[in-house]
Structure 1
Amino acid sequence: MPQLEVDGAALTYDDERPRDGDGTPLVFVHGWTADRHRWDHQVAHFAGNRRVIRLDLRGHGESGGAGVRTIEELATDVLALLDHLKIERCVLIGHSMGGMIAQTIALTHPDRVDRLVLVNSIGKMAYSRGRGLLMAVSTLAPFKLFVAANIQRAFAPGSPREVVREYIRASADTPREVVMTLYGAMRAFDVLDRVGEIRVPTLMVHGYHDIQLPVGQMLRMAKAYPDAVVRIIDAGHELPVEKPEELTGAIAHFLTGPAY
């Protein structure tokens, strides 16, 4: 698989180009402790007639590097990949933290974004005082327990245990420094007052049972978007793997629907 060196980190990515087909390239950005394979179903569907790019973010999957402190720094890595691949405009599709990265790019480099798809993502993490205290205390737990608890909560009730265990194992392979630092970065992320500046068609797809980033917070953000379509699916926070067919269908409809 190809890699790109960016500020001391080798970023692993896939760039799939169809023999026939056109359209604006699709760029998939995964979330916290995940990797580019979270998008396997979506990439398999779209790569037949669209150019599709996905990467392992710094410190995740098969990418090297650590020391990243902010969502903005991860956005810089994604922009560096777009520059390297000579992609001027794309459809940015981000899951969870990846959606935060996508919003950051849409705000700082609006000329690079044709459309935006936010999957289980929000513009600001908001907690009650009690839940905020609970989240802060959870960081004091042993690392593997901290990761396991967060990934377990990400799946809707009734999800297959073996699937959940596999994603817990994969997430725990992410370096502790990366996991904990970006956990703090997500909690500090706040563009809620600026999302009205995003002037591209936007699809927001959210799991009804998402307790990591509750659907109510997404709906609060959607009100501020000038041009947003909302789709709620019977799933938890891990929509790309919990309900892959429904998510892929929602994205496909958004890209080709008569409204756009």
Structure 2
Amino acid sequence: MPEQLEVDGAALTYDDEGPRDGAGVPLVFVHGWTANRHRWDHQMAHFANTRRVIRLDLRGHGDSSGAGVRTIAELAEDVLALLDHLKVERFVLVGHSMGGMISQTIALAHPERVERMVLVDSISRMVYNRGRGLVMAASTLVPFKLFVAANIQRAFAPGYPREEIRKYIRASADTPKEVVMTLYGAMRAFDVLDRVGEIRVPTLLVHGYHDIQLPVPQMLRMAKAYPDAVVRIIDAGHELPVEKPAELTEALDRFV
């Protein structure tokens, strides 16, 4: 059953499953923008048999309350507060999209605590040509539900079932508007590309070939800067945890 932790005005909902002793350091799963901890259902079911696994709904997402967060670093502080509460000193970070940005922030601030890191469909700096930058800026001016629907729709590879996409659109639209729009700006402002060379932990970069939200070339630019990185490309869009859950789990299993 999920539990909750009060952190700085928010009630963070989390799951903490699997064996505690003799199973290696825990895996910590961090979801992305407008998503929730259930993005990791396949991975949780697999790894909880042999390892301790922890996942949470970020502030203002899923079953967690709270708003007011302005930066990726503040979300990283929430994750660390949960891990401190659980007395987890070292861990393997697995972050999807914005969750990967949070993971990099933690790895840079506390490298002694991160044993390995997996970045799924994530980057260290958002880069846009002039045309796409104008489109993204203009997209914030349309009605909120249309803004969410357009962003979630384009996150999936061509051919993914429409009814499934509509389910994720509805879930994302339930995220408070303040949280959605503030963190949209926080992701666009996020930039640690010039610092990723400081991240010395083994890192797996898993990316969807058809990802148009955070395209593969941007990930490869980041990969070049990592001292110890493995790259895996999977035939999917931006939502790898739900588009190709078994392939992602296999990649994680081999890496950890």
Residue equivalent to 1:34 = 35
Quote the Cα distance in structure 1 between the aligned partners of 2:78 and 2:192. Answer: 19
Change (3 A) 1:83 1:231: same
The root-mean-square deviation of aligned C-alpha atoms, in Å, is 0.8
2:205–2:231 CA contact under 8 A, matched in 1: yes
Question: How many residues align structurally?
Answer: 255
Quote the Cα distance in structure 2 between the aligned partners of 1:61 and 1:25. Answer: 22
1:222 aligns with 2:223: yes
1:111 Cα deviation (Å)? 1.1
Quote the Cα distance in structure 1 between the aligned partners of 2:19 and 2:111. Answer: 26
Which amino acid is 2:251 matched to? A
Residue equivalent to 2:115 = 114
The list of structure 1 runs, each at least 4 consecutive aligned residues, that deviate by more than 6 angstroms after superposition, is none
Residue equivalent to 2:193 = 192
- State the TM-score, normalized to the length of structure 2: 0.99
Q: How does 1:141-160 map to 2 (within 5 A)?
A: 141-160=142-161
SS at match of 1:206: strand
2:20–2:51 CA contact under 8 A, matched in 1: no
Which digits, 9 at most, give the CA deviation of each residue in 1:56-105, with x for residues without a partner? 00000000000100000000000000100000000000000000000000
Quote the Cα distance in structure 1 between the aligned partners of 2:113 and 2:149. Answer: 36
Gaps of 5+ in 2: none
Which amino acid is 2:90 matched to? R
Q: How does 1:1-260 map to 2 (within 5 A)?
A: 1-18=2-19, 22-255=23-256
Quote the Cα distance in structure 1 between the aligned partners of 2:63 and 2:167. Answer: 17
1:21–1:49 CA contact under 8 A, matched in 2: no
1:205 Cα deviation (Å)? 0.1
Quote the Cα distance in structure 1 between the aligned partners of 2:111 and 2:6. Answer: 25
Quote the Cα distance in structure 1 between the aligned partners of 2:151 and 2:23. Answer: 39
Which amino acid is 1:162 matched to? E
Quote the Cα distance in structure 2 between the aligned partners of 1:208 and 1:188. Answer: 24
Which amino acid is 1:248 matched to? T
Gaps of 5+ in 1: 256-260
Residue equivalent to 1:258 = none
